[in-house]
Structure 1
């Protein structure tokens, strides 16, 4: 009898938790999207560069809300011999990583398994400048009071989606301010601004390109699936705005964060005249060879 009573109590508690705290889908309108991703350009636009060597710089700038954003900018080796402005590749890192993953093959002994540093090498060889920043709550922007792990845990355990959504939306706005900074400098070709990202970085790429027409090409590598439980950061809700982009999707058939069917649905829903889908028989970490396919995209 006691065991039955305890079982009923546990069942009631579990049902109550499910009803109260589980994430529930919600709807966003075009107006909601426009309002949420809008920003006020800082005045003045102030990209502060610190030279690391002849072609590499670290930098900081103030974002739309006064937050300090940090990152790196690498120029191709022969940039001083080029009179023309150079195209730009913006790189976005995965969750739990930092912008340095776009420039180093390991950080503190931890290998860059996403191989994003190889994309940078390829882009530099082709004459691109490569720029990457830390996303909100990542790298030098970590918040000891609100870690990424806590944000994800609280979202799934207690239904607190706002910190997660804010992390992505505000990073998109940071990138929009970065593009403002780049456009204010004559060394960059404003007609050739491309963005590539891995995992969370790919998710952010989709959102940025959807709200900012200055992005001409997108390479989304292993993006996680996002549905209406986090509707304001679900690419499908702002998909029409991607019609102006060249869009390449790289996905795995066995990704623990996006199923084969979800990736196929994402690709099918993408508008635009130039899109390609590369699939791999792997998990969330794609084989190193995926980078070779980006040769033509660049």
Structure 2
């Protein structure tokens, strides 16, 4: 009998301990959410236009020719900081040649402009295969140009890295650094557009933008806020909610009125569910749009870009 009472007492105390621990965790979680948890907010067209506005300037490009068709460049952007990038022509420039359409490549998070021109960088393969898209675009007669996003590549801030940006946002509710990084990257591309439209060799009526992951995300935002973009190729963009509303593609795609837009997604993407991708595609305003879907996750299968030939037409 005494043993049974002892067992019951121990079980009761264990339950109390477990309940106390769970209650403590719940209280701490609630305190964390109240203090640091990201809260959703609303945006409208006016706020979007205000946040993405910039002083249009004619950037002075410092250009270095690295081959008959390949150039490295840098320019001072809207806020006085330096932007670097690369440009590849489909053939050497010549007098009286036809104007060249432009494909702006936007790279993914943690990558750089090099990923549009190299199959590997620092012995790490370009698993997103964007270098193959560049080859494809060049064969279709496009010039391909790409810049480093904010806090990426040569513009990396070693004192506040991308890891810091994402960790502080998700754990400590500091969304401003992430939002500013995306917004200012879009503005940097708008300044790039200023330069492209000042150059007589380019076809100003055919300026496209495409990107992978964060690059696909940036492509949608740029097309929504700048009518100089004529077509979009957005590959596996993340689906973001209103906790980062000012950079969430779902709040922008109703303003994307381009000649052609393809959204490329995967059915098991950890950054965007199949349902979210369908919702995003449905909201896109462009009349000529296509949803290309693949099996698998965020890293698309080998050779996925081979389905894009019709996009250039």
1:21 to 36, 46, 64: 36
Corresponding residue for residue 109 of structure 1: 123
Which residue pairs with 1:204 in the alignment?
218
Q: Give ranges in structure 2 of 5+ residues lacking alignment.
A: 1-12
Residue 31 (structure 1) aligns with = 46
| 1:24 Cα deviation after fit | 1.0
Single out whichever of 72-81 and 283-292 deviates more from structure 2.
72-81
Which residue of structure 1 aligns with residue 239 of structure 2? 225
Selected match of 2:202 from 178, 185, 188: 188
Sort the Cα spacing of 1:100 and 1:82 in 2 relative to 1 into closer, same or farther, 3 A. Answer: farther
Matches of 2:43 and 2:270, distance apart in 1: 27
* Counterpart position of 2:293: 279
Q: What SS does the corresponding residue of 1:80 show, helix, strand or coil?
A: coil
- 3-state SS in 2 of match to 1:163: helix
CA radius of gyration, larger in: 2
Q: Does 1:290 align with 2:304?
A: yes
- Give deviations 1:128-161, integer Å, cap 9, x for gaps: 1100000000000000121111111111101111
Per the alignment, residue 10 of structure 2 pairs with: none
1:132 match = 146
Contact 2:68–2:92 under 8 Å retained in 1 = no
- Structure 1: tracts of 5 or more residues without a match: none
Offset, 1:201: 0.3
Say whether residues 1:170 and 2:184 are aligned partners: yes
TM-score when normalising by structure 2:
0.91
| Alpha-carbon distance between aligned partners in 2 of 1:127 and 1:80, rounded to the nearest angstrom | 14
Q: Which residue does the alignment assign to 2:155?
A: 141
Q: Distance in 2 between matches of 1:172 and 1:229?
A: 19
| Count of paired positions | 297
1:96 paired to 2:127: no
Q: Which of 246, 249, 252 is matched with 2:260 structurally?
A: 246
Give the match for residue 40 of structure 1: 55
CA contact (8 A) 1:209 1:245 kept: no
CA distance in 2, matches of 1:110, 1:87: 30
RMSD: 1.5
Mapping of 1:78-93 within 5 angstroms? 78-80=92-94, 83-93=97-107
